[in-house]
Amino acid sequence: MRGIIENNGALVFSPDPIDSVSPGVTYARVLTLRHNGDANGTLIATCDLTTLFDGHQVWPVFRSTDHGATWERISNMWDSTTGFTRQMNPFLFEMPQQMGDFEEGTLLLAGNLKPDDESTTNIMIFYSTDMGITWTHLSTVDSGGPAVYDKSPESTTTAVWEPYLAVSANGHLVCYYSDERQKDKGILQAQVQRISTDAGRTWGELQNVVGIPNRSDRPGMITMATMPNGVRLATYEVVNRPSVEVDGAPVYFKTSPDGVTWDSEDLGTPILLEDGRGIGSSPYVIWVDDSTENGMVVVGSKWALDENGHLMQGQNFFVNRNLGEGYWERLPMAVVFDSIDDNALLTGLSMSMETDITNKVIYQAVNVQNDETDLNDLRIGAIPVHFTDYEAENADLTNVNIVNHYDASNEQKVGGINYDDSSVVFNNIEVVTSGDYAILIRYDNGSGVKCTQKITINDEESQEVVFPQTKDWGRFGWVVIVAYLKAGTNKVAFSYWDGYTEIDCIWVRFQDL
């Protein structure tokens, strides 16, 4: 199935352990080209990378022309104009229209650049007119103090961090970022914006988007989505919540009618399930056109939070289908990772999401720890936007057991598929048209070795399907098979073959990508 990648996403890049230091990759970014003619649909990706090249860091730029299945490295972006040797927090952007003297489809790459001693932080932008192969310095948006992280209420840090680019309702380029220089106003850190009326060559005055004058709340890492009603929805973490001692960095959101008008002293609204659980740390938001009236607002973040704000592993996006109003629901991620393990090396820090050009899949780019190198790799996977979900616990079950797990898609999975007569049978797979269908199987396999199950379609076609090991029981992955289903009701049966695998759910969608 196009865009659906087996075994925890496609490997885009793995740092060389000889040349790299911890953590390897962070700040994974992916962009679908939509304004570049025949190249539309091409994927461009980048990330932070601790590897040094000739004494300086780079943002490696990758390209995929087969919907994320394979990737090639097309350039290394680094700044040769200022002498800055350290860089972090990249963000990719494609101009959706002619802007100033830049043609539609021009790529921008914004980030934070620093000298070797990290004594200053500098939000800078570079542009490319050849889809990421070559880059040229465009402008410096702002500069701050040393790259020192201190979240305490007594902090005296003055850095700027984490740029994000968008276009306002009136067609101006806006750069949003974090600003620690307003402590004289009682603001530990603000989310701010500067507006450019000449496509990023010069920048207007500093304006607060979120600035809470209490020296405790520390909003950061802003990203934004435009909803179908034109309203912008911004997400950000709020460090030091629910308290300085119990810091889950919960994700909040707020809205703007045009992307530049904000009530800056409003902290916003936490993103919560109906039972009070949330998500925390380094969020990223997109709006997805799923053919419904409001579409889906989809947010990914580093970890989940229980109802008291304590950290939990998180393997689900949070989704809202009502333009941000009301409670949120969950959607399984395409790529999973350690989020709260002390040895996870900043894994999952600042993932990104994107849709393909036809809005049929959601891509997820994230840094995932490699157990062999102890560094983070860059991985990109995908899940479909349109599918029919069948929960394993609702299937016809024989000699198995139902296991409760908070990260399972419906908080239950089926385990104990360990005997010759064990089976999980989905008797109610309904399709309208006969043809090939992708069956995505969400599973976990913490046995330490790959396992095999037999899958039978309509009591006729059987195949042995291998399930690679996952990190542990309760760490989910995806396996994808393609099967012919007839119009009407179909039967898909799982039975024991070799080893131990638990089934969470299956998703079925027409193989039309």
Q: Is 264 contained in some domain?
A: yes
Examine the domain organization and report whether 226 and 289 are in the same domain: yes
Examine the domain organization and report whether 321 and 449 are in the same domain: no
pLDDT at residue 84 in the model: 95
- Is a pLDDT exceeding 70 seen at residue 6? no
**Total of domains in the chain:** 2
Q: Is 329 contained in some domain?
A: yes
- pLDDT over 90, % of the chain: 90
Q: Is 4 contained in some domain?
A: no
- Mean pLDDT throughout 96-106? 97
Q: Report the Cα 89 to chain-centroid distance in Å.
A: 14
- Is a pLDDT exceeding 50 seen at residue 125? yes
- Domain with residue 108: its CATH number is 2.120.10.10
Q: Which residue type sits at 400?
A: V
User: Which residues make Cβ contacts (< 8 Å) with residue 255, sequence separation at least 6?
Assistant: 231, 232, 233, 234, 324
Q: Of 386, 409, 434, which one is at a domain's C-terminal end?
A: 386
Q: Measured between alpha carbons, how far is residue 465 from residues 69, 315, 400, 499 in Å?
A: 20, 23, 19, 12
Examine the domain organization and report whether 285 and 250 are in the same domain: yes
Edge-first strand listing for the sheet containing 423-431: 396-398, 423-431, 488-498, 451-457, 461-467
Tokens of 246: 């119990």
Contact between 125 and 139 (Cβ < 8 Å): yes
pLDDT at residue 339 in the model: 84
Q: Is 328 contained in some domain?
A: yes
Mean model confidence pLDDT for the chain: 95
**What is the rounded distance in angstroms from the CA atom of residue 110 to the CA atom of residue 44?**
14
Span 446-468, pLDDT tens digits: 999 999 999 999 999 789 999 99
Other Cβ atoms less than 10 A from the Cβ of 154: the count is 8
- Is a pLDDT exceeding 50 seen at residue 2? no
pTM above 0.85, yes or no: yes
- Is a pLDDT exceeding 50 seen at residue 437? yes
Examine the domain organization and report whether 259 and 298 are in the same domain: yes
Overall size of the chain counted in residues: 513
pLDDT at residue 438 in the model: 92
Q: DSSP class of residue 103?
A: P
Examine the domain organization and report whether 445 and 426 are in the same domain: yes
Phi, psi torsion values for 123, nearest 5 degrees: -80, 115
pLDDT at residue 1 in the model: 33
pLDDT at residue 86 in the model: 96
- Mean pLDDT throughout 336-357? 89
Examine the domain organization and report whether 287 and 425 are in the same domain: no
Examine the domain organization and report whether 182 and 275 are in the same domain: yes
Examine the domain organization and report whether 167 and 122 are in the same domain: yes
pLDDT at residue 435 in the model: 94
pLDDT band at 4 (very low <50, low <70, confident <90, very high): very low
pLDDT at residue 53 in the model: 87
Q: Is 46 contained in some domain?
A: yes
pLDDT at residue 98 in the model: 96
Phi, psi torsion values for 119, nearest 5 degrees: -80, -15
Examine the domain organization and report whether 329 and 380 are in the same domain: yes
**What is the rounded distance in angstroms from the CA atom of residue 347 to the CA atom of residue 358?**
30
Examine the domain organization and report whether 123 and 228 are in the same domain: yes
- Residue 121: give the domain boundaries: 10-386
Examine the domain organization and report whether 488 and 421 are in the same domain: yes
- Mean pLDDT throughout 232-259? 97
- Is a pLDDT exceeding 50 seen at residue 3? no
